[in-house]
């Protein structure tokens, strides 16, 4: 299946980039910048490893491999063979703009088939807060739980999230007011829906082999408690996922 490029234009670096990469080497930061700004990076934040990276001055295939391993060990990216997912992409670039989130559907539906990558995207979506978004009043549109009529605001974010969530899990979202994006107490319905997928079943060994570094630590605890009970053993090693 051919992969679509995101085309021209520009990609802004988030204000938190320097802080997010504080535990990385300058070389890792440089490669991460290439991943983020590549025209080939999809709306959901995946990009395929490029031979051109190895041909840059001072680089080689071995250098690129080691840098990717370092970024993955720090929880910045997740890899499935040559496919690379930038973990923070959806959160930083799609959460505030519903149309950007909707644009992820094509990639998830047609291109991204790796269970591990799909599950990691799902865990990032668990962090989206719908409940605190105020519905925007309007003379048209549907009503929220409080009887207010709106067409923008919460409704737009909810519809965009549900479109992607259905593609990942095959399930409808719970009520908007219950989706808080809490890291310590993720929405139980959404957590069950994600963990009930065939993708999660296939991805679980990979998540455990990687010490859950590709999942936000508090969410990883919640998932592991669902799997093993409240007395689950703590994960050994340094956790830097954000």
Tell me: the pLDDT tens digits for 17-67? 999 999 999 999 999 999 999 999 999 999 999 999 999 999 999 999 999
pLDDT on residue 5:
43
Cβ contacts of 11-17, under 8 Å, gap ≥ 24: 11/36, 11/37, 11/41, 13/37, 14/88, 14/92, 16/92
> Can you give the pLDDT at residue 203?
98
C-alpha to C-alpha distance for 157 and 176, rounded to whole angstroms: 9
**Helices within 104-239 (DSSP H only):** 104-106, 115-125, 154-169, 188-195, 198-209, 217-228
Q: How far apart are CA 62 and CA 117, in angstroms?
A: 24
The pLDDT of 222-229, averaged and rounded, is 92
- Give the pLDDT band (50/70/90) at residue 151: very low
**Measured distance CA(239)–CA(213) in Å, rounded:** 6
What pLDDT, on the 0 to 100 scale, is given for residue 41? Answer: 94
pLDDT of res. 235: 67
How far apart are alpha carbons 182 and 232 in whole angstroms?
20
225 has pLDDT over 90:
yes
Q: What mean pLDDT is predicted for residues 69-78?
A: 97
* CA 24 distance to own-chain centroid: 20
Q: Check whether 139 has a pLDDT greater than 70.
A: no
| pLDDT bracket for residue 3 (50, 70, 90) | very low
- More confident of the two residues 238 and 196: 196
Write the pLDDT tens digit of every residue in 77-126.
Answer: 999 999 999 999 999 999 989 999 999 999 999 999 999 999 999 999 99
């Amino acid at each position: 299946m051919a992969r679509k490029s995101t085309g021209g234009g520009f990609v802004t670096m988030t204000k938190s980039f320097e802080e997010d990469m504080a535990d990385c080497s300058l070389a890792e930061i440089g490669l991460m910048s290439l991943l983020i700004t590549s025209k080939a990076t999809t709306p959901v934040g995946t990009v395929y490893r490029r031979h051109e990276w190895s041909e840059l001055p001072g680089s080689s295939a071995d250098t690129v491999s080691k840098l990717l391993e370092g970024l993955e060990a720090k929880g910045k990216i997740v890899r499935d063979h040559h496919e690379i997912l930038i973990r923070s992409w959806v959160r930083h670039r799609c959460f505030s703009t519903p149309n950007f989130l909707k644009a992820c559907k094509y990639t998830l539906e047609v291109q991204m088939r790796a269970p591990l990558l799909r599950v990691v995207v799902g865990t990032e979506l668990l962090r989206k807060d719908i409940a605190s978004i105020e519905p925007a009043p309007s003379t048209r549109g549907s009503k929220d739980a409080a009887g207010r009529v709106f067409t923008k605001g919460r409704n737009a974010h909810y519809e965009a999230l549900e479109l992607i969530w259905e593609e990942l899990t095959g399930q409808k979202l719970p009520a908007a007011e219950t989706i808080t994006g809490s890291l310590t107490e993720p929405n139980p319905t959404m957590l069950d829906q994600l963990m009930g997928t065939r993708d999660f079943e296939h991805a679980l060994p990979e998540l455990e082999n990687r010490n859950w570094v590709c999942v936000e630590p508090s969410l990883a605890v919640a998932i592991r408690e669902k799997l093993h009970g409240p007395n689950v053993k703590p994960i050994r090693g340094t956790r830097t996922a954000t």
